[in-house]
Amino acid sequence: MHVDKNEVISHLKKLASNLKTRKYLTLEDLRRVPKLEYFMQYHYRGFANALKAASLPSSKLAAAMRITNEQLLDYLRDLRTKLKRNPRVFDFLDDTKLYKKYSDYKISWSIYKTRFGGLRKAIKLIEKDGIKAEDENKLIEKSDFLGGKGRYWGEAAEIHVTAELLYRGFQAANIPVDEGLDILAVKDNNTFYFQVKHKDTDNNQAIKITKSSFEKTGRGNVYYVFVLLSNEKREFLILPFHIVNDWIREGIAEVTEEGYMIYIKVRDHKYYLKEKNLDYYLNNWDLIK
């Protein structure tokens, strides 16, 4: 079943007309209509965008979710240029003009805590020499990818996972707003969410999952897909949320102040997490159910 743009709008308006005491639609409302959430993301790349196209009001939360991380950093740059100093908390309250370039509502300083771990960390990202090593995981990593210079590893990994899902009969689309999940997919009226991580198997770097992301997105229909890259091949580890949760509980994934570190090693052409053989999860797309 394919739902086009006009049908998405029609469904949204019909759902809105059935609201009684509430003013705004929520994602829970959309999930009453099979596949509507997927096609909303597919056509409009976000709930707030779809509501705007349907001329329906959106909550402050939905409007905030519509803003990308790059737009938030651009707004921070605009404030700093105007103030001739780094913005402080009260500057967001005092702004009556600049925010309108990015949002219908005032942008709260607290969103920088959710997206970047705090206002100070966001400011570091817009300072030329302020990007530290621990921030690199939150940025799109720029490097060679399978011989293609200048490609983005993270973005390319998501594209490969989306392609694999489409090949296997899922309807899949990227989730544009960084809420800890990268891909939404639907199959047989079931909705699945994916967080994609990539790893170059030629180095010893860990795959990092932040605590905030893990706690915020953890549920039964969430899967982690680790894209393992080498010069010769590209492989996938398909990991249901409960498996990663077990690894953390058992101490197999290393716990740090900010998150969980998963060190995957290659021994005798097989993948291991400490002494745990990962063959069962390797390219096993049938685990998604």
Q: Give pLDDT, residue 121.
A: 85
The domain spans of the chain are 5-65, 67-137, 140-287
- Please state the pTM of the whole predicted model: 0.54
Long-range contacts formed by 74-78: CB under 8 A, 24+ apart: 74/102, 75/99, 75/101, 75/102, 75/107, 76/112, 76/122, 76/123, 76/126, 77/126
Just give the CATH number of 140-287: 3.40.1350.10
Q: Give pLDDT, residue 95.
A: 94
Sheet order of strands, 234-240 included? 171-174, 183-187, 190-200, 222-229, 234-240
Q: Give pLDDT, residue 94.
A: 93
Residue-level pLDDT, tens digit, the chain, 289 residues: 688 999 999 999 999 999 888 888 887 788 888 888 888 877 876 777 888 899 988 776 666 666 777 888 899 999 999 999 999 999 999 999 999 998 878 888 888 876 777 888 888 888 743 444 344 444 433 333 333 433 345 677 888 898 889 888 888 887 765 567 888 888 888 889 999 998 888 778 899 998 877 877 777 789 999 999 876 678 999 999 999 999 998 989 998 887 899 999 999 889 999 999 999 999 999 999 9
